[in-house]
Amino acid sequence: MANTETTLKEALASIEGATGAALVDYTSGMALGTIGGSKGFDLNVAAAGNTDVVRAKIRTMEHLGLKGEIEDILITLSDQYHLIRLLKGRGGNGLFLYLVLDGKRANLAMARHQLRRIEADLEV
């Protein structure tokens, strides 16, 4: 089991094209940890904004009576991928991993695979 800081460092180092990562509490919108980003890309602001995305999707699923669980949410921009992975299991309720990828360098399928592996090792 890895702690938050170690997990986020591993995500940034092991996922090709990753430029930022965060662990976010979507009940409060607060980032519990961040790594990467840039002067022009504040991961704390992105975490808070993506909390609204997660809440909206959960609310919509409830209104539709959908019983499945959200694995991840993908937002594609012209030059980036934003991957939101809701955490499951012990201690993960209300949390998501947020990953920002350079669209030119990232392999989305591999990033999703790596993020699942990292989630399994995360100690919350």
List the pLDDT tens digit at each of the 124 positions of the chain: 468 888 889 888 899 999 999 999 999 999 999 999 888 889 999 999 999 999 999 999 999 999 989 999 999 999 999 999 999 865 567 899 999 999 999 999 999 999 998 888 776 6
Residue 32: per-residue pLDDT: 92
Instruction: Identify whether the C-beta of residue 103 lies closer than 8 Å to the C-beta of residue 76.
Output: yes
Q: Is 38 helix (H, G, I), strand (E, B) or coil?
A: strand
One-letter amino acid of 71: E
Nearest in space to 99 (alpha carbons), one of 2, 15, 26: 15
Residue 118: per-residue pLDDT: 86
The HSE-up count of residue 27 (CA atoms within 13 Å, CB side) is: 5
Largest CA distance in the chain: 41
Residue 55 gets the label, from left (phi > 0), alpha (psi -120 to 50) or beta, of alpha
Residue 92: per-residue pLDDT: 61
Look at the block and give the residue holding tokens 């993908």.
74
Residue 124 DSSP label:
-
Q: How far apart are CA 37 and CA 34, in angstroms?
A: 8
H or E, element range at 99: strand 95-102
Residue 91: per-residue pLDDT: 55
Residue 120: per-residue pLDDT: 83
